[in-house]
Structure 1
Amino acid sequence: MSRSSSASPVVTGTGPRPGWVEVVVGLVVLAAVAYGGGPLVLRTLDPGPLAGGLFLAALSGIAGIAGFAAAVAVRRRPLPEFGVRATSVRWLLLGAAGAVLAFVVSRLLVVGMVALGIEPENIQGAYADAGSGGAWSVALSLLFLAVLTPLGEELLFRGVVTSALLRYGAVVGVLGSAVVFALAHGLNVVFLTALVVGLVAGELRRRSGSVWPGVVTHLVHNAMAQVVALAFAGVL
């Protein structure tokens, strides 16, 4: 493949790509599920740290899938317009390599914050609680955080948001969707990690025309992050 063809965005299929309607609907449904329904369930059931952590670990993936499904249902565009299309093993391997890059860069940024006297708030302690019940809870936490969450979030943020914003060019498409993705995680230390992952996954989406390399990036990154979190918590 020539350099020019490999760098060309492949974002369309048989019809018009998603637009602002899909973006707004998808994000509103995500917010309603993740920040509305999820906390309500926790307050109502009060399941305890372990079950609550597992619930939160699954919630972002469920919310992302719900947002994506709602966006697709708005105007029923073909799934390839959202990047849900086959890709090559080469792109999947690049996705895995991108995960390692994103992991290293984001951790260096956090170290830089600490060196500057900025102490990041640990808002993801519940994810360590999700693996505190033994081998079965570790397996479930990895399933939710390293499989379900990447799938749901990539379908929504790269499949819908990046696809829509790429109509304004590569910079807006990749950087804009990464910022939206990071903001969805809140203004905290996770913002930096989400921004880096979003940039890598968005560029893979743009270049490959598929969401699957970004899913691999997100999957491998989250798996490494959860293993490290469980190790520091003394679970592993």
Structure 2
Amino acid sequence: MDIADSAPRAASPAARPGWPEVIVGVVVAITLYLLGGIVGYLVPEDGPLSAGHVAFIESAVAPAGGFFAAMAVRIRRLGPFGFHRVRAVWVLAGVGAGVACFFLSWPVSWLLDPLFPGSDSVQQAYRDATQLSLLSLAVTVFLGGVLTPIGEELLFRGLIANFLFRWGPWVGVLSSAAIFAVAHGVNAVMPVAFVVGVATGVLLRASGSIWPAMIVHIVYNSAGLVYHGIAS
């Protein structure tokens, strides 16, 4: 598929997010991530929320905060950031891509995990949050399976990918996926995050809308959390 020719509603260069939006968005997001880390450290272990729950809240609020700060700089409209209605076929494509990413995560992890020794437990707090109780699993899926993907897609696709598309579709897709992957840390999660980033970036560009990208991410995260909650 030639994604360069299949995005009829891509933002025009004049309306596309630029350097001011990216700088403000990234700075605000990093600041919120740091503040969230401090809050997570101070949350008592016997509190109503586990460390995994707090981390998921941080992962949703920080990028979303960066996105809305960027939007307030100059454009102040959702359209240039990819908020467009899409046909049902793109919704189904998002679901299918999310399921595909979920099943691809096993061979990708099997092949590339040995390159990141000692990082197997990097997401253990997230997995632990799925295993406390059925209520905890439901809260975890809502926080990590819905809110976190929405927040991350706002920043990494809505802002960063749309900014990078000015240099071509594949620069936007691959560069935003790489940034998204590195943002998860140089660990065993990074290769899978890159795969998800490519899938969401392709659908963003091909559909001209951020909604299919969000659906990919929601399906992938939710499936993984439910799997860990049931299988462990």
Same fold (TM over 0.5): yes
**How far 1:198 moved relative to its partner?**
0.5
Instruction: Say if 1:15 and 1:81, in contact at 8 Å, map to a contact too.
Output: no
Distance 1:116 1:212 in 2: 33
- Structure 2 unaligned segments of length 5 or more: list them: none
**How far 1:14 moved relative to its partner?**
10
Distance 1:85 1:63 in 2: 23
Distance 2:128 2:116 in 1: 27
Counterpart of 1:197, as a letter, is V
- Structure 1 unaligned segments of length 5 or more: list them: none
Distance 1:178 1:116, change over 3 A: closer
Instruction: Compare 4-13 and 218-227 and name the one that shifted more.
Output: 4-13
Counterpart of 2:44, as a letter, is D
**How far 1:86 moved relative to its partner?**
1.2
Question: Does residue 86 in structure 1 map to residue 85 in structure 2?
Answer: yes
Distance 1:4 1:71 in 2: 26
1:33 is aligned to 32
**How far 1:51 moved relative to its partner?**
2.4
Distance 1:189 1:48, change over 3 A: farther
- Percent identity, aligned pairs only, is 37
1:199 is aligned to 198
After TM superposition, where is structure 1 displaced by more than 4 Å over at least 4 residues in a row? 3-6, 114-120
TM-score, structure 1 normalization:
0.89
Counterpart of 2:197, as a letter, is G
Instruction: Say if 2:60 and 2:152, in contact at 8 Å, map to a contact too.
Output: yes
Deviation per CA, 1:10-59, whole angstroms, max 9, x where unpaired? 3216952101221222122221112x111211223334485222111221
After TM superposition, the structure 1 = structure 2 runs for residues 81-160 of structure 1, keeping only pairs within 5 Å, are 81-113=80-112, 120-160=119-159
Q: CA RMSD in A?
A: 2.4
Question: Does residue 171 in structure 1 map to residue 201 in structure 2?
Answer: no
After TM superposition, the structure 1 = structure 2 runs for residues 9-48 of structure 1, keeping only pairs within 5 Å, are 10-12=9-11, 16-34=15-33, 36-48=34-46
2:215 is aligned to 216
1:186 is aligned to 185
